[in-house]
Amino acid sequence: MLSQVEKERAESIFELLKEATTQQVVKDFLRDKGVHHSAANWEHMYDTRVLPALESKKLALSDLEALLRDVEEHGRQHIFLFQCKPEDATKILLEHRLTQIAIAEGLDNLLAQPTYVNMPVEPEIVDIRINRAPNGSGIVLGLTIKIVECRESSKLVDDDFDQNTGRRTKVWEVTKKRAVSVAHLSNEGLLEIRVASRENSTKYHEQVSKLIRLINKFIPMDSFEPVSLGKSKATLHEKKDDFAGVIRYTSTTATNDMGISMNLSAANMSNNLMQNDGSAGAMREFLAKKGYVTGSNIWFIMPDDATREIHVILNGEVHEFAVTAACTPRDYSYVLGKILSLN
């Protein structure tokens, strides 16, 4: 039987899963764990599937925690890449150092177990994970820090003008949403700042700055430099024929030193821009005359299933790319690896 504390923890995790993913994802997870997974709704799923499986030890709370991490921490993000020397990363990742900082900051409890908050008043670190090698050697491979915040968005729902008084009254509907961002440092020195995507903005400087301030004690940014993705953007176009069946293009933007820009877009997101010889030729001519690629709208075709594609936007800051939809950790790693391999 679960203790009352464990039940409350399970309920908190499940409530966050309801916000972060779909019933089908959770059903697939239960099926893979050998647990009955049919359910009419979320409540039915928890009461008749998840809770009994936890009680009977077919599922562990750590399984639910891992699922929440997977669905919250990958995709629907703008990713900003930084790099430090591997030897600097090794020093930053010293377990004793990280533990001492966590104790000093009053966050040492997060090294053992994450906390589950929905919409904190201020951005809050909720999980600190020292990632170790799976072979039991204890070698530290990286550090993951998760930050949760509450975001507000406004939508105009009524606009009334009273001709008698000359007054205009506008009514805005305010929606609050839980947003999860992640900082991940590998022992090779690559730092990923993954900021949860915003609905009404394409600029993320303020969000990145806030996140960096939160993690700076653990990961001092004076050791890092941005990783320019300029070469990746250029390679994507220059070697586009090599990526047939691997990448599908829907838009490409280029500019030159005179400030002249060229933008090519497919008719819709299901088309492949590079299948059109005219558009490909026009861009090739522009780039040949000192133009350079500044952005691309592309789709990575998954090698294990050609019907699945991961939408990636390469634009914004020089070290920024976006994964527009939720994806699995495996899919995210594949996309990140491909982008870095082009660089």
Query: Which residues neighbour 226 within 8 Å (Cβ) at sequence distance 6 or greater?
Result: 80, 81, 82, 83, 317, 318, 319
Radius of gyration of the chain measured on its C-alpha atoms: 23
240 and 299 in a single domain? The answer is yes
pLDDT value of residue 110: 97
Length of the chain: 343
pLDDT at 116 over 80: yes
The set of long-range contacts for 201-204, using a CB threshold of 8 Å and a minimum separation of 24, is 202/316, 203/316, 204/78, 204/80, 204/316, 204/317, 204/320
pLDDT value of residue 123: 94
Q: Which domain holds residue 64?
A: 4-72
For tokens 């409890």, name the residue: 109
111 and 129 in a single domain? The answer is yes
Distance, in Å, from the CA atom of 316 to the CA atom of 296, rounded to the nearest integer, reads 10
Distance, in Å, from the CA atom of 208 to the CA atom of 225, rounded to the nearest integer, reads 14
14 and 40 in a single domain? The answer is yes
pLDDT at 336 over 90: yes
287 and 194 in a single domain? The answer is no
pLDDT (tens digit per residue) in 140-168: 999 999 999 998 888 888 999 999 998 99
pLDDT value of residue 250: 81
pTM: 0.86
Type of residue numbered 219: I
pLDDT value of residue 315: 86
65 and 130 in a single domain? The answer is no
pLDDT at 271 over 70: no
Domain end marker among 187, 209, 226: 226
DSSP symbols for 135-183:
TTT--EEEEEEEEEEEEEEEEEEEEEEETTTTEEEEEEEEEEEEEEEEE
89 and 204 in a single domain? The answer is yes
152 and 18 in a single domain? The answer is no
Distance, in Å, from the CA atom of 66 to the CA atom of 32, rounded to the nearest integer, reads 14
108 and 167 in a single domain? The answer is yes
Domain end marker among 46, 72, 98: 72
Mean pLDDT of the chain: 89
Domain end marker among 19, 48, 72: 72
29 and 44 in a single domain? The answer is yes
pLDDT at 267 over 90: no
Provide the number of structural domains found in the chain: 3
68 and 80 in a single domain? The answer is no
pLDDT (tens digit per residue) in 34-74: 999 999 999 999 999 999 999 999 999 999 999 999 999 99
254 and 325 in a single domain? The answer is yes
